[in-house]
Amino acid sequence: MAINKDTVKYTANLARIELSDEELDHFTGQLDKILAYVDKLNTLNVADLKPTSHVLKMKNVYREDAVKNSLPVSGAIKNAPLAENNLFKVPKIIDIEA
């Protein structure tokens, strides 16, 4: 098996997604099947190859560090589920996880 329930549960936690037991079951089976399929990459010898993270020939893209107009704060927070004093409002951050 390429992946088991514990690993899926651990990974979902890293991705900050809560899964029901049912989801955990069916995702584990499906992900295992997908990972078994992608295993075919192991038949290739890639030791001497450079990775391609993007296809463009460009390297760094620079621009002048000039002051420009930006989105007003009111625009940036207008979609927030909860906002106060022009700030995003969230639950207490420093908290002890149960």
Partner 1 sequence: MELNTLTAHNLMELLKKGDICPIDICNNIINKIEKTEKSLCALAHFDKEKVLERCSNLSKGAEKGALWGIPIFIKDNICVEDELTTCSSKILKGFKPPYNATVIDKLTGLDAILMGKTNMDEFAFGSSTETSCYGPTRNPWDLERIPGGSSGGSAAAVAGDEAIFALGSDTGGSIRQPAGVCGVVGLKPTYGRVSRYGLIAFASSLDQIGPITKDVEDAAILLKAISGHDEMDSTSADMPVPDYLSGMKKSIKGLKIGVPEEYFIEGMDKEVKNSIKVAIEKLEKLGAVCEDTSLPHTEYAVSVYYLVATAEASSNLARFDGVQYGLRADNIKSMIDMYKKTRKQGFGDEAKRRIILGTFALSSGYYDAYYSKALKVRTLIKMDFDKAFQKFDAIVTPTSPTAAFKIGEKISDPLTMYLSDIFTISANLAGIPGISIPCGFTKNNLPIGLQILGKPFDEETILRIAYNYEQNTDWHRIKPRLI
Is 17 among the residues that bind partner 1 (CB under 8 A)?
yes
CA dihedral 12, 18, 20, 23 (to 10 degrees): -40
Is 81 among the residues that bind partner 1 (CB under 8 A)?
yes
Is 51 among the residues that bind partner 1 (CB under 8 A)?
yes
Side chain identity at 49, as an amino acid letter? L
Is 1 among the residues that bind partner 1 (CB under 8 A)?
no
Q: Which of 28, 23, 40 is nearest to 3 (CA)?
A: 28
In degrees rounded to 5, what are phi and psi of residue 83? -140, 155
Interface ranges with partner 1 (CB under 8 A): 3, 7-8, 11-19, 23, 27, 30-31, 33-35, 37-38, 40-42, 44, 46, 49-56, 58, 61, 63, 71, 75-82, 88, 90-93, 95, 97-98
